[in-house]
Amino acid sequence: MGQLGQRVVVIGQGYVGLPLAMRAVEVGYHVTGYDTSEDRIKHLNAGESYVEDIASATLVAALDTRRYQASSEAQCCSGFDVAVITVPTPLKEGIPDLSYIEAAADTLALYLRPGATVILESTTYPGTTEELVGAMLEEGSGLVVGVDFHLGYSPERIDPGNPTHNLVNTPKVVSGVSDASLAAVKGFYDSIVEQTVPVSGTREAELVKLLENTFRHVNIALVNELAMFAADLGVDVWEAIDAASTKPFGFMRFTPGPGVGGHCLPIDPSYLSWRVRRLLGQSFRFVELANDINDHMPDYVVQRLVMALNRRRQAMNGSRILLLGLAYKRNTSDARESPGQVVADRLLSLGAEVRAADPHVVEAHVDRRVVRVEASAEELSSADAVVLLADHDEFDLDLVTTHARCVLDTRHRVPPGAQVEYL
Ligand SMILES: NC(=O)c1ccc[n+]([C@@H]2O[C@H](COP(=O)([O-])OP(=O)(O)OC[C@H]3O[C@@H](n4cnc5c(N)ncnc54)[C@H](O)[C@@H]3O)[C@@H](O)[C@H]2O)c1
């Protein structure tokens, strides 16, 4: 396996699937990017990337090799040697929604041939690859998993906007439903990334991703709760975190913020807690507590803002609030599940006039009542309060201290000033 010249199909051309498809082209595979969104396919075939980590020039270069094609026709999957599923795994009314994985498995079953390999990358609870994808592929194709075709799971660790760690230099955990499947999956990724990390089964690999994200979720909740107490105690939590971070062992730095967002953190731990409750009848208390604290953070930001205005004898109702950054994290355009959107909603419902500057997030993803502006000196000085939510590199934070009348900085990045307070 891992032989270049083979046909690779990547199901889903989003934040995870597109970088994988581009890398597969780069190392010599014939790659098809299949996506049910016709709009996305149109952009891809026009050489326009909508994923920030992939430059449009990279996409154009891939198209020019004639070894990459993007299509919304299921037929484009026919004749694949390796298929990788990178479709969304959201929550629907708090419950894992595996319908996208099911649809992908249905499609692949139609084109599955003996000797082919199917790999699931979407984040999901332990058991999905074997119990759901394996069973659907067998039923739809009449082939036997682990005998006629290979099946495995490999969690994605992509960190959008991270300039240091990318798909290629981040070790990739790989697994298979049998030794032969593991060898096939490992062989494929050995040609894609610098280092693969085999584990003994697909359930362990599925748990790896949930463990990594639950670890982050819980530790962010810990510093968020600490930040709320420290503010009341009059202690500088940021200074304490910086000093604690000098310990070379046994401590890992996490910082407070306006809440968690994106496709991973607020959602993945709930996949695990749902599975634990479903199979064991028990609650995963750490996850529930972390959800509770992190979900509360946007409200806490609003509360701090109300208090800051109150000290200036101003009401939130009628005040102009300028939000800096609507994405869930710095230097990304992803506003899915973003705490910034929740903060904007709460402020609007309190009667504030909400404006927002975010050079990354496109208009369509933001509430229409939020007026989109640039973080100019004029906008900063005409706002009653400015809130830094996502510290994109484009923001001139010195300008914020110079011009803003009242600042709440949830990221501890704005230079100090009498009117600047930190979360
Ligand atoms: N974004 C991240 O940083 C990140 C990191 C690690 C893991 N993940 C996980 O990877 C998976 C994909 O996430 P994403 O951020 O790339 O999502 P995304 O929404 O950016 O992309 C998914 C794409 O799949 C397409 N799609 C949906 N159903 C389809 C189907 N049946 N056939 C073909 N295409 C289909 C959608 O149109 C969309 O373009 C999720 O499970 C997510 O939890 C995401």
pLDDT for residue 264: 80
Evaluate if residue 239 carries a pLDDT over 70.
yes
Contact 374, 403 (CB under 8 A): no
322 three-class SS: strand
Name which of 79, 125, 78 is nearest 101 in CA terms. 125
d(CA 54, CA 61): 11
CB 71 within 8 A of CB 33: yes
| Ligand 1: residue whose CA is nearest its atom 37 | 37
Q: Which residues pair with 176 in a beta bridge?
A: 152
Ligand 1 atom showing the smallest separation from residue 124 Cα: 41
CA–centroid distance, residue 398 to ligand 1 (Å): 37
Task: Give the C-alpha distances (Å, rounded to integers) separating 410 from 56, 227, 423.
Answer: 33, 10, 5
Distance, in Å, from the CA atom of 369 to the CA atom of 37, rounded to the nearest integer, reads 27
Report the atom number in ligand 1 closest to the C-alpha of 121: 10
As given in the structure block, the two tokens for residue 291 are 């959800």
As a dihedral over the C-alpha atoms of residue 408, residue 411, residue 416, residue 420, rounded to 10 degrees, the angle is: 0
Give the distance (Å) from ligand 1 centre to CA of residue 391.
Answer: 25
- Ligand 1 neighbour 87 (Cβ under 6 A): yes
Distance between CA atoms of 311 and 309, rounded to whole angstroms?
A: 5
Do 275 and 98 touch, CB atoms closer than 8 A?
no
Residue 106 alpha carbon, nearest atom of ligand 1: 31
pLDDT digits (tens, 9 = 90+) for 329-371: 898 888 877 899 999 999 999 999 999 999 998 876 778 899 9
Residue 100 Cα to ligand 1 middle (Å)? 9
Mutate to test the pocket of ligand 1, among 16, 44, 107 (most ligand atoms within 8 A of CB): 16
* Ligand 1 atom nearest residue 158's Cα: 5
CA of 423 to the centre of ligand 1 (A): 32
pLDDT bracket for residue 243 (50, 70, 90): very high
Active site residue 77: no
Please give the Cα distance from 321 to 66 (Å, whole number). 50
Q: Which residue has the tokens 């083979």?
A: 6
3-state secondary structure of 410: coil
Q: Of all atoms in ligand 1, which is nearest to the CA of residue 89?
A: 41
Cβ(34) to ligand 1 under 6 A?
A: yes
Q: Is 76 close to ligand 1, i.e. is its CB under 6 Å away? A: no
Name the average pLDDT for the chain: 94
Q: Whose CA is nearest to atom 27 of ligand 1?
A: 87
327 and 335 Cβ atoms separated by less than 8 Å? yes
- The pLDDT of 260-272, averaged and rounded, is 84
Tell me the pLDDT tens digit for each residue of 107-156: 999 999 999 999 999 999 999 999 999 999 999 999 999 999 999 999 99
pLDDT > 90? residue 32: yes
By alpha-carbon position, which residue is closest to atom 10 of ligand 1? 122
Residue from 86, 102, 133 to probe ligand 1 pocket by mutation (most atoms less than 8 Å from CB):
86
Q: What share of residues in the chain are helix, strand, coil (percent, to 5)?
A: 40, 15, 45
Tokens 């992939």 -> residue: 54
pLDDT above 80: residue 402: yes
Please tell me whether the overall predicted TM-score, pTM, comes out greater than 0.75 for this model.
Answer: yes
Phi-psi region for residue 32, left (φ > 0), alpha (ψ -120 to 50) or beta? beta
Of the ranges 163-167, 244-248, 301-305, 393-397, which one carries the lowest mean pLDDT score?
Answer: 163-167
Catalytic one of 76, 77, 264, 406: 264
Strand partners, 356: 323, 372
User: How do residues 60-84 score in pLDDT, each as one tens digit?
Assistant: 999 999 999 999 999 999 999 999 9
The residues, ordered by sequence, that sit 6+ positions from 418 with a Cβ below 8 Å of its Cβ are: none
Strand, helix or coil at 209?
helix
Question: In the block, which residue shows the tokens 């599925």?
Answer: 206
Q: How many helices (H) and strands (E) does the chain have?
A: 13, 16
Residues 6+ away with beta carbon under 8 Å from 47: 56, 59, 60, 63
CB 113 within 8 A of CB 37: no
Mutate to test the pocket of ligand 1, among 102, 156, 159, 213 (most ligand atoms within 8 A of CB): 156
Which secondary structure element, helix H or strand E, spans residue 192, and what is its range?
none
Task: Give the span between the Cα atoms of 380 and 305, in whole angstroms.
Answer: 16
Q: Which atom of ligand 1 is nearest to the CA of 122?
A: 41
Pick from 9, 10, 34, 35 the residue to mutate for probing ligand 1's pocket: most ligand atoms within 8 Å of its CB. Answer: 35
Cα–ligand 1 centroid distance for 49 (angstroms):
15
pLDDT tens for each residue of 81-95: 999 999 999 999 889
- Split at pLDDT 50, 70, 90, the class of 387 is very high
Contact 359, 381 (CB under 8 A): no
Q: Which residues contact 249 (CB under 8 A, 6 or more apart)?
A: none
Nearest CA to ligand 1 atom 25: 12
pLDDT digits over 169-202, tens only? 999 999 999 999 999 999 999 999 999 999 999 9
Which strands make up the sheet holding 320-324, listed edge to edge? 371-372, 353-357, 320-324, 385-388, 407-409, 420-422
